[in-house]
Amino acid sequence: MSDVPTSTPPETTGAPEVPATVATDGSSPGPPKPSAGEAGRSVAKALLDAVLEGSSVVVTILAIFLAFVVGGLLIAFTDPTVLHAWGSFFSNPGNALAQTWDSAAGAYSAMLEGSIVDPHTVSAAFHGGSIAAVFNPLSETAVNATPLILAGLSFGVAARAGLFNIGAAGQFIGGAMIAGWIGFAVHLPLVIHVIVAVLGGFVGGAIVGWFVGFLKARTGAHEVITTIMLNYVMEYLILFLLGLSVFRQPGRPDPISPPIAPNAELPHLFGPNLRVNAGLLIALAAALGLWWLLERTTIGFQVRTVGANPSAARSAGMRPEWVWIIAMLVAGGLAGLAGSTVVQGTDFVLTAQIYGTYGFDAITVALLGRARPGGTVLAAFLFGALNAGGIQMQASTQIPVDIVTVIQSLVVLFVAAPPFIREVFRLKTAKAKAAGEVEAKGWAA
């Protein structure tokens, strides 16, 4: 991956406490490179050091683990049975602990059943049940991950250019609006319709993103403010449009569009019983394309350089303003694609709430993936699995699905704070960094 030290938020959060030579980018999953003084030692020793000192991969795993522990405690101690058992802790301590374990474990196993595999469907399949049912949890995970990958890439590409894109929600709406409109109002032949609608989604998001970049480049308007404001503008815009007869489903009093034409639906990948669809391929292709763009092209080099240091980039003859516009255009387009995969892949109608929580999920996913395309894909699958599992968990155990949001926020919080994880797990403190090397980003890009 790149050797250019960037000052994008995700990296600086991870970077300061990690020795510079230990791989700081989360996307290289192999054993961390031994640091300079340890070159001669065995790989095993280096690996052990990485674990003890907490390389970024180890920290990430521990952070996820800790988030699940805290989530489990929260589940257990809001469960009336558990609280009751703890009420008689001194007469029967074993029962209290067992109840606590059962409560949390029950929730998490329900989550696994909803996101990976449900043993019941496997045994049923052996007795002539549906094969598709076995793969349904995995399909749901993939379906949930698809828009998260795209939205996460959107935040990531802006972050690599040093921009903080909180506007994925607004860009998502822009994409969903155009993809949806092409879907239900335009009549095109098979294959062409779906492609045109997806491209429309990209364009819709890209316009919103471009506007942010344009304003920043021309007037210096801070992207944090303009993206937040555009989120609201787009939320009201879609509400307004859904009130017009052009966008309104006939005979429905609530703001909902007509369903998109079957030609515009993203095709299912594995038969009609599994919801996983071609949107997943779009998302993975986008991740690959973005990796190529960032790491293998001149534009990508400029994006990374401007993200690292706009003044230096200007001195080197690059134009940060132009790079900001390009980066926001691509970021907006990716968020727009996320919108199109939701409209064309799962929802098939436009509603006023279609943007859901994707705006902030984009940020958390990208932060967990350290703004790298590969890391973002992995993080999106983790969060997709949590979302899919959370729905199953709520259905079978009545534990509110919001616990997933808590766990997700804790994962990102802990991943962003390696020193905190090291303190909790008593890892050796990594070689102290000089004070000057701490460089979190302020408001000024």
Partner 1 sequence: MSAGTAVMAARRRLVIERRFVIGGLLVAIGLIELLVFGRVAVKGDAVFTFTLTGAKVNIPNLTLPAGPTSTIIGAVTTALGLLYVAVDLPKVPRRLIAGVSLVGLVAAVLCWADASRIPFPFVALLASTVASSIPLMLGALSGALCERSGVINVAIEGQLLLGAFGAAVIASAFGNLWLGLAAGALSGGLIALLLGLFAIRYRVDQIILGVVLNVFASGITGYLFDSLLVPYANRLNSPATFNPIKIPLLGDIPILGPVLFDSTVFLYITYVVIALVQIGLFSTRWGLRVRAVGEHPEAADTVGINVLLTRWRNVLLGGVVAGIGGAYLTIGSVGSFAKDMSSGEGFIALAAMIFGRWTPLGGVAAALMFGFATALANVLGTVGSPIPSDFLLMLPYIATIVAVAGLVGRGRPPKADGQPYVKA
Buried-state track 26-52, b at ≥16 Cβ within 10 A, e below 16? bbbeeebebbeeeeeeeeeebeebbbe
Assign 166 to helix, strand or coil: coil
Stretch that binds partner 1, among 47-55, 196-204, 215-223, 299-307 (CB under 8 A): 215-223
- Between CA 220 and CA 173 the distance in angstroms is 25
Under the binding rule (CB under 8 A), the answer on residue 408 touching partner 1 is yes
* Segment near partner 1 (CB under 8 A); pick from 54-62, 93-101, 181-189, 211-219: 211-219
Q: Binding to partner 1 by residue 420, rule CB under 8 A?
A: yes
Interacting residue with partner 1 among 5, 16, 31, 289 (CB under 8 A): 16
36 touches partner 1 (CB under 8 A): no
- The size of the interface with partner 1 (CB under 8 A), counted in residues, is 61
Asked if residues 260 and 184 have their Cβ atoms less than 8 Å apart, the reply is yes
158: which 2 tokens? 């802006």
User: Measured from the CB of residue 198, what is the shortest distance to partner 1 in angstroms?
Assistant: 27
User: Toward partner 1, which CB reaches closer, 150 or 230?
Assistant: 230
What are the tokens at 325? Answer: 């516009």
Query: In the set 34, 62, 63, 164, which binds partner 1 (CB under 8 A)?
Result: 164
Q: Closest Cα to residue 19, out of 444, 433, 340, 349?
A: 433
Residue 67 touching partner 1 (CB under 8 A): no
Dihedral (CA of 354, 357, 363, 366) sign: negative
* Residue 124 sits in the site that holds partner 1 (CB under 8 A): no
Q: Under a CB-based contact definition with an 8 Å cutoff, are residues 387 and 381 in contact?
A: no
Would you mind telling me the total number of residues written for the chain in this entry?
445
Q: From residue 13, give the alpha-carbon distance in Å to each of 73, 104, 371.
A: 27, 31, 12
Q: Does 230 bind partner 1 (CB under 8 A)?
A: yes
* Cβ-based nearer residue to partner 1, 92 or 409: 409
**Among residues 177, 294, 327, 404, which is the contact residue for partner 1, using CB under 8 A?**
404
Between CA 11 and CA 348 the distance in angstroms is 37
Q: Which residues, in sequence order, are CB contacts of 427 under 8 Å at separation 6+?
A: 52, 53, 54, 421
Among 124, 199, 239, 281, indicate the residue that binds partner 1 (CB under 8 A).
239
Told to check if 275 binds partner 1 by CB under 8 A, we report no
Smallest separation, CB 414 to partner 1 (Å): 10
The residue assigned the tokens 């929600």 is 169
Q: Taking the CA atoms of the chain, what radius of gyration do you get in angstroms?
A: 23
Site for partner 1, residues 74 to 93, rule: CB under 8 A: 74, 78
Q: How far is the CB of 232 from partner 1 (least distance, A)?
A: 4
Among 292, 402, 428, 429, binds partner 1 (CB under 8 A): 402
Of 39 and 438, nearer to partner 1 (C-beta) is 438
Instruction: Identify the burial level of 262 via C-beta atoms within 10 angstroms of its C-beta, where 0-12 means exposed, 13-18 middle and 19 or more buried.
Output: exposed
Looking at 19-27, 39-47, 94-102, 225-233, which segment touches partner 1 (CB under 8 A)?
225-233
Q: For the CB of residue 195, give the shortest distance to partner 1 in the complex, in Å.
A: 32
> Which phi and psi angles does 344 have, rounded to 5°?
-90, -15
- Any contact of residue 46 with partner 1 (CB under 8 A)? no
CA distance 32 to 204: 41
Report how far residue 355's alpha carbon sits from residue 341's, in angstroms, rounded to the nearest whole number.
12
Nearest distance from residue 183's CB to partner 1, in Å? 22
Work out which of 154, 341, 364, 376 binds partner 1, going by CB under 8 A.
364
Asked if 161 contacts 306 with a C-beta cutoff of 8 angstroms, the reply is: yes
405 binds partner 1 (CB under 8 A): yes
Residues 421-440 that bind partner 1 (CB under 8 A): 435, 438-440
Q: Which residues bind partner 1 (CB under 8 A)?
A: 9-10, 12-13, 16, 74, 78, 164, 166, 215, 218-222, 224-226, 228-230, 232-233, 236-237, 239-240, 243, 311-312, 314-315, 360, 363-364, 367, 399-400, 402-410, 412-413, 416-417, 419-420, 435, 438-444
